[in-house]
Amino acid sequence: MSRLTSLGEGPNQLGSLAQSARMKHMNQAKWTLIIIGVLTALLNGFMLAQSQKEVDDLIRAGQLGAADAGTVLGLVRVIYGGALALGVVFIILGALVNRFPVPTTIAGLVLYLASTALFMLLDPSSIAKGIVIKVIIIYGLVRAVNAAIAYKKESSLRTGFKPPSPGLGADL
């Protein structure tokens, strides 16, 4: 008996260690999504509550006419309300990571990238604001997607389930 086998470090143990590492990454993804969600919801909830004051400040500063205030206020509330709802979606995705690792991590990454791009279109200076944090979040979410895919493949191998391979008719 080899030393590795006698210590319980054979191929099955190594696979288990890899799965354990992937679970750690998915747990990090879970908390990353939840924290992104909580911070997004809190910040945008506060901004939504302050939206009337924000519009009033623009009127006082002469940057907005009183006639346009209602339209601008409605638009501002839609933006902040939508971002608040997005925060709730991130929290839900985070809560579901352990049940549906691949779809939730991919959805989280796509939604984060899409919302970042949307806010960049609304305010081009927003890309530079917190760029280091944005890169760290994107890196963490990409790692989470990779870990989720590897975890799912490993789980499929252990249960004997073989996911359909892409090929003829895969796009149906």
pLDDT tens profile 54-96: 999 999 999 989 889 999 999 999 999 999 999 999 999 999 9
For 75, half-sphere exposure in the C-beta direction (CA atoms, 13 angstrom radius) is: 7
Residue 4 confidence (pLDDT) above 70:
no
Beta-strand runs (E) in 39-115: none
5-14, 29-38, 73-82: which is most confident: 73-82
Answer with the residue of higher pLDDT: 130 or 20.
130
pTM higher than the cut 0.85: no
Helices (H), 50-130: 51-60, 69-96, 101-122
The 3-class secondary structure across 122-160, one letter per residue, is HCHHHHCCCHHHHHHHHHHHHHHHHHHHHHHHHHHHHHC
Written as six digits, the tokens of 70 are: 């209602």
pLDDT for residue 122: 87
Q: Which helix (H) or strand (E) holds 20?
A: helix 11-49
Confidence of residue 170 (pLDDT cuts 50, 70, 90): very low
Tens digit of each residue's pLDDT (9 = 90 or more) over 118-147: 989 988 998 888 899 899 989 988 988 888
Q: Please write down the long-range contacts of 168-172, taking CB distance under 8 Å and 24 or more positions apart.
A: none
Tell me the C-alpha distance between 66 and 89, whole Å. 35
pLDDT for residue 151: 79
Q: For residue 108, is it left (φ>0), alpha (ψ between -120 and 50) or beta? A: alpha
pLDDT for residue 41: 97
Written as six digits, the tokens of 89 are: 């979606």
First CA to last CA distance, the chain:
50
Residue 163 confidence (pLDDT) above 80:
no
Answer with the residue of higher pLDDT: 34 or 21.
34
Q: Which helix (H) or strand (E) holds 26?
A: helix 11-49
